[in-house]
Structure 1
Amino acid sequence: MTTPRIALLGFSIECNRWAPVARMHDFTNRCLLRGEEIVTDGRAASSRALGEMPGFVTTMDATGPWEPRPIMLAMSEPWGPVARDVFEGFMAEWRAGLEPLRGQVEGVYAVLHGAGLAEHLHDPEGALQALVREILGDVPFICSYDLHGNISAENVALNDAFVGYRTNPHLDMRERGAESAQLMRRLLAGEKFVRAHRRLPIIAPTVSMLTAQGPYAEVINLGQERAAADSRIVNVSVMGGFAYGDTPFNGMTAVVTATDQGAAEALAQELAEAAWARRDRFVARLTSIEEATQRALTSPVPLAFADVADNPGGGGRGNTMEILRAFHAAGVQGAVFGVINDARLAAEAHALGKGARFRAVFNQGGLDEFSHEFAADAEVVALSDGQVTGRRGIYGGTVMQLGKTARLRLVSDPPQAVNRPHDVRGIEVVVISERTQCADPAFLEHLGIDISTLRAVVVKSRGHFRGGFDEFFQHEQIVEVDGPGLTSPILTRFNWKHVPRPSLPIDTEASWP
């Protein structure tokens, strides 16, 4: 066999229907790689791309000769639907890169997300897959997906192997890229794969889809057990979905890739039935801000408070003030808030310099229905340019750009007493300029914060912080707080327009054949 030539491309963004439109800057700031940059980044010790493409590239390198044909990989932090002109520009660029490869490649690998939107499309991933098939025809085509993908029939039909994450928080992205490379080798050797899928009227709240424990973990584990016992099963992906995409194909979906259609259909059905049997457990159980404040004041052990409703990892703005306002008013001590997205305030702190005291005004003037103004006297403790290499979890080994960053200490008068010494007295806030969820301890540590000394950490994150901060906080030390924001797990608070109805738990009842 000749050395296989493999086209490489990707489009990965999680889109919240209610968040502001994603622009070109959101991709260029996070990860927009063209041509050989994709391969170079994939082989680097620290990459700009998340782990799927590096996992694929390095595994292809390790398993035999190949010739990459890289085109373009576009990744952004979660935001709103991608601007029409931006996505159409991407499609034109992918088309221009694919056309010369017509009849000149033996396979294609695409990094996708599954919860993407464009201003004019519910399913931009499907549009990209269709473009690949239109130009390259029936070549082996493998797509990897985030487990939060909302999966259309086209997403399953237009590839040869469907590979979804298995962990939430996402710790297996590199492994899924590596698995995609191994499946590519099997396809190149002549194997043929088929797929089956089942979608359920379950639109699970984000906080109910952890994979260490709970109903979602149980269904995923069942799928892996069945795959290990049946050589016909190539991959099992249980896609939890992303509620805030608000698409006509929202709903938990089991996707099975196999060498036998009957085996694929039977397992997809079994997994769907297993999820349906657990349907009443896919609910959000949150702690009120008032109760969270009391726990911050009285807990005998350190706690991590997750501001799940304002999660930049799901399209939140990362700047709601309600938890900070409550903790500050109550005199909570030894607490750090990370990370608040306020470029204006970060720039002001940089202009004033380390050691300066000033009146810090967050969300000056108020920005929207959730991002209200909050002001407090503050001291500039530390500053950085915000270039950080992630240390653990989803961003581990990934180069991140937080923009101008400031560590501010809120000054209370008089200061409250503390039970024991802390590096942080009172409340400190890490302010960034490029909206990102606080999923990695390095976001705080690079400013000199010793997390092990804190009584409380409040993170703008839904769940990925669990994979980064697990060395400091066990599951029992995590409090998911019911605040306001664009990513509230209380799904009845949203005006749904496109999701299938009835669906649980938005509706009190739903049926599934």
Structure 2
Amino acid sequence: MSPRIAVLGLHLEANAFAPPTTEEDFAAQCLARGEEVSAQARAPSSALPAELPGFYARMDATGPWTPCPILVANAPPGGPIAQATFLDFLDGMRARLLAARPLDGVYVANHGASSATADEDSDGTLLAMVREVVGPHVPVVVTHDLHCNVSERLVEACDALVVYRTNPHVDMAARAAEAADALRELLAGGRTARAFVRLPLIPPTVTLLTDEGPYADLIRDAEGMMAQDRRLLNVSVAGGFVFSDLPKCGITVTVTARDGDRAAAEAAARRLAERGWAERHRHSRRLLSLEEAAALAVAAGEGREAPVIFSDAGDNPGGGGRGNTAWTLRALHEAGAKGVVLGLFVDPALAAQAQALGVGARFEAVFNREESEFSRRFAAGATVRALTDGRGTGRRGTMAGRDFALGPTALLELEGSGMQVVVISLRRQCHEPRTLEMHGVDIGAARCVVVKSRGHFRAGFDEFFPPNRIFEVDSPGLTSPVLSNFRWKRLPRPSFPLDPGAAWAGPAGG
């Protein structure tokens, strides 16, 4: 008989310093219920998180199954979910799960760093609900983004947790396929044991790349363990998401062992955690000051330096930033840097004004008419060079084959510097080249590209800029890698590097 598998997911990276996330935010990006989930998962492209098409493809390839799609909600990173919205999702998931019984298995595709305004562990709450509905013997497999904040309650409620292993994230479909294989194994009678360790180590997000560095080494160790020891079904090292500002923040190690072998899981988790802690001092990275960035951009524009790409890391919509700080924009414009392209600047009012004026119009462009702590007003003469409806499909990196919507957009050319700025209406990070190219921007001809993205742009723009031409800029914002800039309220303290003297005695009971 074809196994009946429930499929559901909640994707939000919650930044405690950003405004709450509402149902409208989910609806603007991806909110699918029932059979709409299956239809999108099997379509050539969709707005679903990439795990869902990956899971469906692997399950389809490995045998008969009956999908029981529940609900998938995906919003851009932002503030905690409004509690009423979260409870509405939770109730809807519960009702659909109850109606879908009997179930043989459950796949949950969560981001893993969500929270709600009155629930610090919304992911754990969701998994506890799933376990309550399906009972103790139905296998439940979960995938998470590597920027997840894992709770003990979530680990206890599932049979296996599979976390991304690439940053930028280009392995979502592969990890979903791994989850599908784990679920098939459990459906065939397998059983698991899990070990979990949380370190008092909360590194800045710019040190959690997986090509090289301390986190990359931990990921390689985890992959080596799985390859060498068949007892280990999965070894996941999650980097965490510090801006959630929660007690469950920090690097975590979750090991899932086959055949209920808890000793094997605990030994592997302890070994990885001990290496991570021993190498904690490697989690540091130098950022360019605004003055240094302006000087480098000028040199690149004059041909004295090769082209460069700047990450406006302090204002990354992919981490809950508003996408509307003008510090880097102003610095490069006032320095007169030539050949500069900046995207994506989130300013619905400015985009609407440009749309109304039309291509070719010259006007005084006012960025951020309503100022906030980090987003100061900036004005410059500008000409409208292109307008779009903001809809497209990604071609590279984390967005390859995925549909995106930016809202009404405009390409502005600033007088004096000639800087090109792509202004959008919906809050999205710039990690996909198509979002610039759709406006007629020739990225290959630019001398300096500024992206409001922390790291995912590396997988989209690597065809233009090698690693040695990538620089992070120390600009103010809700996602600044300089963690001492924030007034933390709920982080576990002491934690390194905020507390240089933080200590760790090893796994509990270890």
TM-score range, shorter chain: over 0.9
Instruction: State the SS of the aligned residue for 1:180.
Output: helix
How far apart, CA to CA, are the structure 1 residues paired with 2:473 and 2:193?
43
Does the CA-based 8 Å contact 1:198-1:254 persist in structure 2? yes
Does residue 1:393 correspond to 2:394, yes or no?
no
How far apart, CA to CA, are the structure 1 residues paired with 2:462 and 2:193?
38
Kindly report which structure 2 residues correspond to 1:315-394, keeping only aligned pairs within 5 A, or say none: 315-366=320-371, 368-394=372-398
User: In the alignment, what sits opposite 1:419?
Assistant: none
Give the CA deviation at 1:108: 0.3
User: In the alignment, what sits opposite 1:221?
Assistant: 220
How far apart, CA to CA, are the structure 2 residues paired with 1:282 and 1:345?
39
How far apart, CA to CA, are the structure 2 residues paired with 1:393 and 1:13?
20
Instruction: State the SS of the aligned residue for 2:498.
Output: coil
Query: Which one-letter code corresponds to 1:137 in the other structure?
Result: G
Kindly report which structure 2 residues correspond to 1:22-33, keeping only aligned pairs within 5 A, or say none: 22-33=21-32
Kindly report which structure 2 residues correspond to 1:225-264, keeping only aligned pairs within 5 A, or say none: 225-259=224-258, 260-264=261-265
Kindly report which structure 2 residues correspond to 1:68-217, keeping only aligned pairs within 5 A, or say none: 68-102=67-101, 104-138=102-136, 139-217=138-216
Moved more, 20-29 or 279-288: 279-288
1:153-204: CA deviation from partner (whole Å, max 9, x where unpaired)? 0121110010000000100001111111111111111111111111100001
Does the CA-based 8 Å contact 2:144-2:162 persist in structure 1? yes
Query: Which one-letter code corresponds to 1:107 in the other structure?
Result: G
Give the CA deviation at 1:281: 1.1
Give the CA deviation at 1:499: 1.0
Instruction: State the SS of the aligned residue for 1:33.
Output: strand
Normalised to the residue count of structure 1, the TM-score between the two structures is 0.96
Instruction: State the SS of the aligned residue for 1:489.
Output: coil
User: In the alignment, what sits opposite 2:477?
Assistant: 485
User: In the alignment, what sits opposite 1:298?
Assistant: 299
How far apart, CA to CA, are the structure 2 residues paired with 1:379 and 1:341?
18
Query: Which one-letter code corresponds to 2:142 in the other structure?
Result: C
Does the CA-based 8 Å contact 1:50-1:395 persist in structure 2? no
Normalised to the residue count of structure 2, the TM-score between the two structures is 0.97
Does the CA-based 8 Å contact 1:197-1:253 persist in structure 2? yes
1:437-460: CA deviation from partner (whole Å, max 9, x where unpaired)? 000000000111110000000000
User: In the alignment, what sits opposite 2:11?
Assistant: 12
Instruction: State the SS of the aligned residue for 2:502.
Output: coil
How far apart, CA to CA, are the structure 2 residues paired with 1:390 and 1:510?
42
Give the CA deviation at 1:98: 1.2
How far apart, CA to CA, are the structure 2 residues paired with 1:31 and 1:204?
30
Match of 2:406 among 392, 402, 406: 402
1:132-167: CA deviation from partner (whole Å, max 9, x where unpaired)? 111111201000000011111012111001000000
Give the CA deviation at 1:261: 1.1
Query: Which one-letter code corresponds to 2:408 in the other structure?
Result: K
Give the CA deviation at 1:26: 0.8
How far apart, CA to CA, are the structure 2 residues paired with 1:178 and 1:357?
51
1:387-443: CA deviation from partner (whole Å, max 9, x where unpaired)? 01111111111111100010000011xx6xxxxxxxxxx201000000000000000
Does the CA-based 8 Å contact 2:232-2:257 persist in structure 1? yes
Give the CA deviation at 1:365: 3.8
Match of 1:439 among 431, 445, 449: 431
Does the CA-based 8 Å contact 2:128-2:154 persist in structure 1? no
1:364-386: CA deviation from partner (whole Å, max 9, x where unpaired)? 142x1011110000000000000
How far apart, CA to CA, are the structure 2 residues paired with 1:158 and 1:274?
27
Instruction: State the SS of the aligned residue for 2:480.
Output: coil
How far apart, CA to CA, are the structure 2 residues paired with 1:496 and 1:152?
19
How far apart, CA to CA, are the structure 1 residues paired with 2:80 and 2:315?
17
Does the CA-based 8 Å contact 2:324-2:346 persist in structure 1? yes
1:273-296: CA deviation from partner (whole Å, max 9, x where unpaired)? 110111001124211000011001
Does the CA-based 8 Å contact 2:14-2:243 persist in structure 1? yes
Does residue 1:454 correspond to 2:446, yes or no?
yes
Does the CA-based 8 Å contact 2:108-2:143 persist in structure 1? yes
Query: Which one-letter code corresponds to 1:445 in the other structure?
Result: E
User: In the alignment, what sits opposite 2:499?
Assistant: 507
Q: Where does the alignment leave 5 or more consecutive residues of structure 2 unmatched?
A: 506-510
Instruction: State the SS of the aligned residue for 1:49.
Output: coil
Instruction: State the SS of the aligned residue for 1:170.
Output: coil
Give the CA deviation at 1:227: 1.1
Instruction: State the SS of the aligned residue for 2:68.
Output: strand
Does the CA-based 8 Å contact 1:196-1:255 persist in structure 2? yes
User: In the alignment, what sits opposite 2:280?
Assistant: 279
Instruction: State the SS of the aligned residue for 2:154.
Output: helix
Match of 1:466 among 458, 461, 470: 458
1:452-476: CA deviation from partner (whole Å, max 9, x where unpaired)? 0000000000000001001111110
How far apart, CA to CA, are the structure 1 residues paired with 2:291 and 2:79?
30
How far apart, CA to CA, are the structure 2 residues paired with 1:381 and 1:460?
21
Does the CA-based 8 Å contact 1:284-1:489 persist in structure 2? no
Does the CA-based 8 Å contact 2:17-2:243 persist in structure 1? yes
Moved more, 501-510 or 431-440: 501-510
Instruction: State the SS of the aligned residue for 2:296.
Output: helix
| Pairwise CA RMSD | 0.8
Instruction: State the SS of the aligned residue for 2:407.
Output: coil
How far apart, CA to CA, are the structure 1 residues paired with 2:173 and 2:330?
39
User: In the alignment, what sits opposite 2:41?
Assistant: 42
Query: Which one-letter code corresponds to 2:331 in the other structure?
Result: A
1:23-81: CA deviation from partner (whole Å, max 9, x where unpaired)? 11110011101111111111111121121111001111111100000010001110001
How far apart, CA to CA, are the structure 1 residues paired with 2:467 and 2:330?
25
Kindly report which structure 2 residues correspond to 1:419-438, keeping only aligned pairs within 5 A, or say none: 426-438=418-430
User: In the alignment, what sits opposite 2:508?
Assistant: none
How far apart, CA to CA, are the structure 1 residues paired with 2:110 and 2:446?
38
Instruction: State the SS of the aligned residue for 1:144.
Output: strand
Does the CA-based 8 Å contact 1:222-1:271 persist in structure 2? yes
Does the CA-based 8 Å contact 2:412-2:423 persist in structure 1? yes
Give the CA deviation at 1:101: 2.8
Residues matched between the structures, number: 498
Does the CA-based 8 Å contact 1:108-1:140 persist in structure 2? yes
How far apart, CA to CA, are the structure 1 residues paired with 2:98 and 2:14?
29
Query: Which one-letter code corresponds to 2:423 in the other structure?
Result: V
1:291-342: CA deviation from partner (whole Å, max 9, x where unpaired)? 0110011132100000000000000000100111011111010010000000
